[in-house]
Amino acid sequence: MNDTAVPERRFPTGTVLQAGGGIYDVLLDDQSRIRATLRGRLKLEQRTGDRVVAGDRVRIDAHPDGSFTIESVQPRKTQLARRAPGRHERHAKVIVANVDQVVLVFAAALPEPRRRMIDRLLVLAESNGIPAAIIINKADLASLTDLEAAFAAYERAGYPLLFTSVLTGRSIDALRHLLCGRESVLTGPSGAGKSSLLNAVEPGLELRVGDVSAAVRKGRHTTVTATLVPLACGGFVVDTPGLREVGLWGIDPEDLDACFPEFRPFLDHCRFGSSCTHTHEPDCAVRTAVESGGLDGERYLSYAAMMAGNA
């Protein structure tokens, strides 16, 4: 044994639930919660740009005086970033790490689901390399046949799609299954039923998310922070102060087509190859597929609007 060997139990791993003011709330893997600060060397690394954020997996050292420090941060699987206002892209600020999925919550009606907004959020997830799922809530307000027809394009594009109702309990178990064990960002228009769904999945969860939002809004006007709210069944719901603040800035227009997964099989078949913008060029495989019904027209219109900077 060399004298640098340290018993493993002194360095438990955990997940950062919230970061702010140099203090980190961490849920250790044994489910205990601690508050930690950064170890000196990490502080130095932070000055070079990379911050420790909610969702980071960290290794903790427990000190004899009862304090805790973050010793190291594991490489991130994914990250959601936001550009600091008026700054260049390289100043992008990571607001949450290791998100497993973005869950879009829209309503079948009240409010009417806006296809452009759904598509924009899906592109946001794709461009960050994060899988997305779509929940159409308030399914009790429409016929299932109509809903299936209206949203078939998303299922064809490969997105998990659930029609839920808090009123009838429809697909609430399926939603719980989707959320358990994963770190999920829920997003969508207000009034779609996000809070009601969280409460149906786990009573009290909606309140915990709401509490965090209020506290974050009150305490930190200028900083966009995110908080992870643990689920009883494992996993986390991420509370962000608005995913829409995480803009499309990072996407090169040339890469937008690949953010529509169902377009991908066509992209190599345009006459102008990868330089085709699918807006006006002759012999465009994407537009031909839209015209023949092989690709959904509404999805294409969202693409065209984003290319034109109108979405």
Residues that bind ligand GDP (CB under 6 A): 137-138, 140-141, 165-167, 190-196
Residue 245: CB minimum distance to ligand GDP, A: 17
CA 140 to chain centre: 27
> Closest by alpha carbon to 108, among 141, 152, 146?
141
Q: Which is nearer to ligand GDP, 53 or 105 (CB)?
A: 105
For the bound state, the minimum distance from the C-beta of residue 208 to ligand GDP, rounded and expressed in Å, comes to 14
Cβ proximity to ligand GDP: between 117 and 307 the closer is: 117
Residue 194 token pair: 């996000």
State the minimum distance, in angstroms, from the CB of residue 189 to ligand GDP. 7
Burial of 96 from C-beta contacts in 10 A (0-12 / 13-18 / 19+): buried
Nearer to ligand GDP, 127 or 195 (CB): 195
Q: Where does 98-208 show beta strands of DSSP type E?
A: 101-107, 132-137, 161-163, 183-187
The long-range contacts involving 202-205, CB below 8 angstroms and separated by at least 24 positions, are 202/176, 202/231, 202/232, 202/233, 205/229, 205/231, 205/237
SS3 call for 228: strand
Cα–Cα dist 240/183, whole Å = 12
Quick one: 74 or 168, whose CB is closer to ligand GDP?
A: 168
Pick the closer one to ligand GDP by CB: 68 or 163: 163
**Minimum distance from CB of 81 to ligand GDP (Å)?**
24
Neighbours of 159 (CB within 10 A): 19
Nearer to ligand GDP, 150 or 167 (CB): 167
- Closer residue to ligand GDP in complex, CB, 178/285: 178
Q: Measured from the CB of residue 244, what is the shortest distance to ligand GDP in angstroms?
A: 14
Minimum gap (Å) between residue 277 Cβ and ligand GDP: 35
Minimum distance from residue 140 beta carbon to ligand GDP (Å): 5
Between 191 and 253, CB nearer to ligand GDP = 191
CA angle 158, 123, 211 (to 5 degrees): 100
CB 99 within 8 A of CB 130: yes
Residue 18's nearest CA partner among 220, 195, 196, 243 is: 220
Nearest residue to 175 via CA among 126, 233, 214, 118:
233
**Shortest Cβ 48–ligand GDP spacing (Å):** 39
